[in-house]
Amino acid sequence: MSEKQLTIVKMEKHVEAIKSFPHQAFKKSILLHYHSMSYSYSKNKLFYKTIFKSHRFVLATILVIEFFTSSPPLLAEVKRKFMLLDMLSDNTVSNFLIFLKVSRRIKTRALIDDRRKQEFIVTDKGLNETLELIKTMAIPLDFLNPDLSLKTKISEKDALNKFFHHYAAIVRNRLFDFERVNNIGIFILKDAGHMIILNLYCNVEKKPHGNIVSLSLAEISASCGVSRSHIKRIITEAELAGLLLFSIENKEIMLLPSFFQMTEEYMAYYFSSVLIGFDADL
């Protein structure tokens, strides 16, 4: 069996295991991720809203994988590998790498034997943020199965190195399965997309006329660090896709069953990819 086939089998196995938990337990795991992520997000909205646009997230992942798996890690290789995926323009990729450099998440220097090439390191700032992000996913998985102890494992020496050596199989084989979930691109292909989904899913009140989001557009906007018009465009697109209803009169968002199904399918694949990184089974 090829690496790709083996990784697909593992991911599907993880997804089925996640879905086999009682629905309330799975919902609680998503809520735990949301609360943990909200804390990290609130400390640096610009960074998180930027990487929570799916294709940038993939680019950042490739960069960290290159750092841990190549010697020396080269920016040109990060760019080359990402451009093969045909997700973003050359200019957008360059701008994102500059953003990481200016914000001191990576440092670069010319190679001694070939000054045309730039090697890079991920700084302590970048590594700490990476660790914090993985912990927001380890916490809910530990809730589903406390024996995993993923939050403890990811804090061990060399844990990030091991995690990204395993996670590299997803990138090498282009297995970004969460992107295949129907209509998920309405959210995750936009700035702060992942956080916008969580804000909707995790802030619902059951009312006689339906599942109503308890946050206003302004509150979602403030929480995610994006404009109200950005949120409204996504809500409008999601309504056209049959995921929710938006009342202009009272500014009320009603989530439909298709939204919950989409979000839970997405989160199952999201958690599955993390289990690949940990080389763990539920």
Q: How far apart are CA 227 and CA 206, in angstroms?
A: 27
Mean pLDDT within 71-93: 95
**Whole-number pLDDT of residue 177:** 64
pLDDT tier for residue 196 given thresholds of 50, 70 and 90: very high
**Whole-number pLDDT of residue 176:** 79
Q: Is the pLDDT of residue 83 over 80?
A: yes
- 236 with 246: CB under 8 angstroms? yes
In a 10 Å sphere around its CB, with 0-12 CB exposed, 13-18 middle and 19+ buried, how is residue 256 labelled?
middle
Residue with tokens 């694949």: 269
Mean pLDDT within 206-222: 93
**Whole-number pLDDT of residue 214:** 95
Q: What is the 3-state secondary structure (H, E, C) of the chain?
A: CCHHHHHHHHHHHHHHHHHCCCHHHHHHHHHHHHHHHHHHHHHCHHHHHHHCCHHHHHHHHHHHHHHHHCCCCEHHHHHHHHHCCCCCCHHHHHHHHHHHHHCCCEEEEECCCCCCCEEEEECHHHHHHHHHHHHHHHHHHHHHCHHHCHHHHCCCCCHHHHHHHHHHHHHHCCCCHHHHCCCCHHHHCCCCHHHHHHHHHCCEEEECCEEEECCCHHHHHHHHCCCHHHHHHHHHHHHHCCCEEEECCCCEEEECHHHHHHHHHHHHHHHHHHHHHHCCCC
Q: Is the pLDDT of residue 178 over 90?
A: no
Q: Is the pLDDT of residue 217 over 90?
A: yes
Tokens of 172: 């090498």
Sorted by sequence, the CB contacts under 8 Å of residue 216 that are 6+ apart come out as 251
Tokens of 271: 């958690």
Longest dimension (CA), the chain: 70
pLDDT tier for residue 250 given thresholds of 50, 70 and 90: confident
pLDDT tens profile 135-175: 999 999 999 999 999 999 999 999 999 999 999 999 999 99
**Whole-number pLDDT of residue 276:** 97
Mean pLDDT within 88-102: 96
Domains and CATH numbers, the chain: 3-179+266-278 (1.10.10), 185-262 (1.10.10.10)
Helix axes 23-43, 193-201, angle to 10 degrees: 130
* Position with higher pLDDT, 112 vs 252: 252
Q: Is the pLDDT of residue 261 over 70?
A: yes
**Whole-number pLDDT of residue 259:** 98
Tokens of 118: 């730039």
Side chain identity at residue 73, one-letter code:
P
* Position with higher pLDDT, 208 vs 261: 261
The mean predicted confidence, pLDDT, of the chain is: 95
**Whole-number pLDDT of residue 266:** 97
Beta-carbon count within 10 A of 143 CB: 17
pLDDT tier for residue 115 given thresholds of 50, 70 and 90: confident
**In angstroms, what CA-CA distances link 15 with 10, 29, 58, 203, 280?**
9, 14, 20, 24, 13
